[in-house]
Structure 1
Amino acid sequence: MADFKDPENGIIIELKDGNVKIDLLPDVAPKHVERMKELARAGKYDGVVFHRVIDGFMAQTGDVANGNKNDSSFNIRMAGTGGSDLGNVPAEFSKVPHARGSIGAARSQNPDSANSQFFINFNDNAFLNGQYTVYGQVIEGMEHVDAITRGEPPAEPDMMISVKVAADV
């Protein structure tokens, strides 16, 4: 069982097949780390679907405005178009590579448009290096990420059942 470097900067995502543990990188991308922890502690990620899952590439989630499967207004076609009611987070590009299991900030064409959405890389995706903020790394449970249903959007999308800061568990 993997241990977090620092439970205050660790995330546990509960998926249908098991938990995924992520070490966040506050020394690399402090604003993105703080945003993820803020949304996790507020329960905003609970029930949010993986709305864009591309085999051999990545699984994207985190649309807290439109992607909550537990919400009566949920519409998978809208998932991926929104964020949180908090402001956008400016890019925090680094030399950390988009390796298998790394967590990247999803954004529009504007580098400073990241908000709540993120993706988990299935493979090493070096073409993203220096263009998207990396702010975490899966340390356990990557097999559960690999099992997420594929699609853009998936017909029956998987969701994050719960997302917690490890220090709070």
Structure 2
Amino acid sequence: MRRWAMQAGLCLALCAGAASAAPAPTWRGLDPDNTLVIDTSQGRIVVEMRPEFAPQSVARVKLLAREGVYDGLLFHRVIDRFVDQTGNPNNRDGGTSSHPNLPPEFDFLLKPDAADAIASRASDGITGFVGATPFSASQLPRPDGTLRAAGAYCAGVVGMGREEDPGTGNSEIFFMREPSRRLDRSYSVWGRVVQGLDVVRTVAIGEPPAHPDRMIKVRVMADLPATERPKLEVMNPRSAAFAALIRKVRAAKGADFSICDIDVPSRSQP
């Protein structure tokens, strides 16, 4: 009975946004302090970073961007329908920055009111979004009401690379060309591409590529002059339009539905 009551309370908390009096706007802007702008040889990639998922990884990416470490680095390992890897100062696997390695941030504690949208519920857990980044979580809350959650490696999700030791994240980052959920809870998720997934998918393939593409300039959006910032809006996951999108995709996919079936729309600011 106590477990049922906890789950019922959790449901009420997670659904609270839908019951609020003022409807959420359909579109939202990006937080300049947590948006990464990557100009590559194939075009621009914009990443919404999520410190709720991996605060130390986000802080490291910002630091390296501001130090200029990422500027000019190659996409040194690119596997079709899987990942684009970059971020190693030596342009190959195993290179690191001058900063210490990071601890693993493979999962995190999700406060019920921090989930912006719930996409599915099952006996073994829930899936949903924080911002544009998908997650999966336990259905059963911890004593403090939080859920044990992890980023879901869908297309466009960005992760922190590492060696065999889980505590060896440092500077390498990777971009998912397609979903690969086997990476869940094995690599730290720190955000998702909200513009430029087509760029991610056109980066030259190879291990290493014969003619590799590169990150030309990597900057935190807050550091850019207003005139140079991406004029971009993302669909608000708390909006009625996003709820309708989830319902539409779930109806189309039926029993095969996955959180990775939902692409979060973005648009140029009107």
TM-score norm. by structure 2 comes to 0.56
Instruction: Identify if the C-alpha distance between structure 1 residues 4 and 160 changes in structure 2 by more than 3 Å, giving closer, same or farther.
Output: farther
* Within-5 A mapping of 1:110-149: 110-149=165-204
Shift of 1:136: 1.0
Cα pair 2:71 2:216 within 8 Å, conserved: yes
Partner of 2:99: 86
**CA distance in structure 1 between the partners assigned to 2:71 and 2:97 by the alignment:** 13
**CA distance in structure 1 between the partners assigned to 2:72 and 2:62 by the alignment:** 16
Cα pair 1:101 1:142 within 8 Å, conserved: yes
SS of equivalent to 2:159: strand
Instruction: Identify if the C-alpha distance between structure 1 residues 4 and 114 changes in structure 2 by more than 3 Å, giving closer, same or farther.
Output: farther
CA RMSD of aligned residues (A): 1.2
Deviations 1:18-38 (A, max 9, x none): 210000011110000000000
SS of equivalent to 2:62: helix
Cα pair 2:42 2:213 within 8 Å, conserved: no
Specify the code of the residue in structure 2 equivalent to 1:104: G
Deviations 1:41-72 (A, max 9, x none): 011000000010000100000002x12xxxxx
Please state which structure has a larger fraction of its residues in helix.
Answer: 2
Greater RCO, CA 8 A, separation 6+: 1
Partner of 2:159: 104
SS of equivalent to 1:161: strand
Partner of 2:110: none
Shift of 1:96: 1.2
- Any stretches of 5+ residues in structure 1 without a counterpart? 68-78
Larger radius of gyration: 2
**CA distance in structure 1 between the partners assigned to 2:80 and 2:28 by the alignment:** 28
Cα pair 1:4 1:23 within 8 Å, conserved: no
Specify the code of the residue in structure 2 equivalent to 1:29: A
Specify the code of the residue in structure 1 equivalent to 2:156: G
Shift of 1:4: 5.2
> What fraction of aligned residue pairs are identical, expressed as a percent?
40
Aligned length: 156
Partner of 1:20: 45
Partner of 1:33: 58
- Any stretches of 5+ residues in structure 2 without a counterpart? 1-26, 108-149, 225-270
**CA distance in structure 2 between the partners assigned to 1:3 and 1:155 by the alignment:** 40
